[in-house]
Amino acid sequence: MDAPPPPQAEIVITAPRLPDAARDEAYSVERIDPGASANAPRIDEALSQSAGASLFRRSTSLVANATIQGASLRAIAPSGAGRALVTLEGAPINDPFGGWVIWSAIPSETIDSISIVRGAGAGPYGAGALTGVIALQEAHAPSVLDLAYGERGYGRAAGAWSGDGVTLAFSGESFNGDIPVRTGRGAADNRTDYESFAASARWVGALAGGAASLRLGLYDESRGAGIVGAESQSRGAHGSAAYAREGAGQSWRVQGWAALSDFANSSAAISADRNTATPAADQYETPALGLGANIAYRARRDGFEWEIGADARYADGESREHFRNLGAGFTRGRIAGGATLIAGLYGEASHESGPWLFTGGLRADYSGAFDARRIEYDLATGAHTLNDASPDADEIVPTARVGVRRDMGGFALRAAAYSGFRAPTLNELHRPFRVGNDVTEANAALKSERLAGAEIGIGGANWRAALFYNQLDDAIGNVTLGIGPGTFPRVGFLPEGGAYRQRQNLGRIEAIGVEADANWSFGPLDLRLGAAATDAEVTSASAAPQLEGLRPAQAPQYTATIGLGWRISPAWRLALDGRWESARWEDDLNTRRLSAALGVDARLAWRLNERAAVILAAENLFDAAIETGETGLGVESFAPARVVSIGLTLR
């Protein structure tokens, strides 16, 4: 009888990453439960488990226009562009033109972990990490196929296959949507329908004594905005390559990435009775290119760890649109855009001595905006009606952070101080936009936002709490300059209730807040709780003194989250996730109030065998009225009603 074959050694595929840094223990780092993030059909829904994370206008990527999918942390002043840097395996995935994040571009089945670093991210994270960093990491996971079908035309198919260091993944989703206006709706109100498709290919393997990776992702999504004739489409590609090598007490990593994106958006003016929608603007394409690279070297010896590095990001893009409809179609065209470059050097060091950890870092960035252009022309004759070329602008921005941690045995105390900045996006500098009868003008003269803050915290193995203070200077906001009816510069006539706004550096926002989260396991039950309270106020606004003393738009004062997992039996599992927010203001003048809201999602899994499970899911389980918008005439918009779906998962 032949001898049995020798057992095969387990093959471990290591991604090209640097080891976890000791310094991280001195800062506020939250890690989303891997199981919970894997169960979320969209990554931004997994982020909603964090009380400190804010989604603009309370809208998830199931219904939200791409331009409001920016992520912010600590509710100091959420923004459609986002004040948090979002990375995938270290490469920024914020759109090169708008700074927003196309969450549907990344199949959630590939995500292994989500880490949230709160506080300005000087050091290795670079510019853009104004309120923190959301770091996504992919996994070389077993193959999976997810299928779901639900109410109002909801459907989703997604899967991933892994083998020999290669992971191929795809996701497709569709939803007929709801009409967001429930009271006072008219013939101009429409459904927020949605379709998306994404695919990615990733290779990870050994190379020249280190680890290397290559990744390419593609996406295409289209949406209805809830108004007849108002639609959007986003499409693009993102590619990256990385190499890392680790030796005795030292490691280094280099990465390069490129992104192409295009965005189209049409808007309409609405009559007072909401029965007529007149095309107001057709931004038929917004091509943009983003390029970047980063490199880091880290060494560790005798309790000391230090790291030096550099990174650079370049973006170029423009908005192309038709506008000015006097009743017989568009009469004007507009091309507006430019380029930005951000490049920085940093150094960080930490020292561990017994129960103490000390860390600090310095960073310097060059930030420049150039080749700004805004051309408006007559569609019939081609004659220019406007030809603006804003002067180039650049600056050198120093930032820093320091932290200390003391292990008390069973829990730890920590304190940190930090500074950071965010340069305005090409979208904020150059692209005007319209939502219903509200029009917001761009501003090519915007300056960078700068934040300084400090925090103290305490935490144990499964709980943490912190008190923080942030000061945001030159905050970029949509400042209301007039209310219709009336005729306004570059915009023309706006009807009653319509707002004329411009992006401006409105001044200083100060925020003081507390945040806490904890998780426990009791036999078959897992419980997670989180809460945050942020008192944010515009304390100085020389450009818009009418805003002083007001709360920033879209910033809830209180947020609470709860997660409950129940292993009913080996075959049955139940998960509930809830998020409550206090009221927030829709606008900068604090005149449009969005009521407090509680949303609960549920998921019941029945495991048929080791490889298959049936999933019954309900988003907005209790059919809550979650207000997401309000017009100047008091017409309210709401998130989708309850959506029940049934699905099958094969692993």
Supply the pLDDT for residue 11. Answer: 47
Q: Is the pLDDT of residue 98 over 80?
A: yes
What is the number of residues in the chain? 651
- Residues of the chain with pLDDT > 70, as a percent, come to 97
DSSP, res 101:
-
> What is the rounded average pLDDT for all residues in the chain?
91
CA dist., res. 178 & res. 190, Å (int): 8
In contact, 452 and 471? CB cutoff 8 Å: yes
Per-residue pLDDT at 106: 93
Mind listing the domains of the chain with CATH numbers? Answer: 22-650 (2.40.170.20)
* Burial 188-214, CB ≥16 within 10 A → b, else e: bbbbbbbbbbbbbebbbeeeeebbbbe
pLDDT in tens, 211-267: 999 999 999 999 999 999 999 999 999 999 999 999 889 999 999 999 999 999 999
Question: Can you give the pLDDT at residue 38?
Answer: 64
Tell me how far apart the alpha carbons of residues 227 and 437 are, in angstroms, rounded to a whole number.
11
pLDDT one-digit tens code per residue, 455-503: 999 999 899 999 999 999 999 988 998 998 988 888 888 888 888 999 9
Confidence of residue 69 (pLDDT cuts 50, 70, 90): confident
Whether the pLDDT of residue 39 is over 80: the answer is no
Q: What pLDDT was estimated at residue 248?
A: 87
Whether 577 has a pLDDT exceeding 80, the answer reads yes
Q: Are 255 and 90 in contact (CB under 8 A)?
A: yes
- Report phi then psi at 347, rounded to 5: -145, 135
Classify each residue of 362-372 as buried b or exposed e, where b means 16 or more C-beta atoms within 10 Å of its C-beta. Answer: bbebebbbeeb
* C-alpha span between 233 and 177 (Å, rounded): 16
Largest CA distance in the chain: 94
For residue range 304-339, list pLDDT tens digits in order: 999 999 999 999 999 999 999 988 899 999 999 999
Confidence tier at 524 by pLDDT (50, 70, 90)? very high
The CA distances from residue 297 to 122, 214, 292, 309, 380, in Å, are 16, 20, 18, 6, 58
CA distances from 184 to 273, 629, 635 (A): 8, 14, 7
With 60 as the cut, is the pLDDT of residue 5 above it?
no
10 Å Cβ neighbour count for 218? Answer: 17
Per-residue buried b or exposed e for 559-586, using 16+ beta carbons within 10 Å of the residue's own CB = bbbbbebbeeeeeebbbbbbbbbeebbb
Q: What pLDDT is attached to residue 36?
A: 63
Q: pLDDT tens digit string along 389-415?
A: 889 999 999 999 999 999 999 999 999
pLDDT at residue 2, as a whole number: 46
Instruction: Give the distance from CA 255 to its chain's centroid.
Output: 22
Q: pTM of the prediction?
A: 0.92
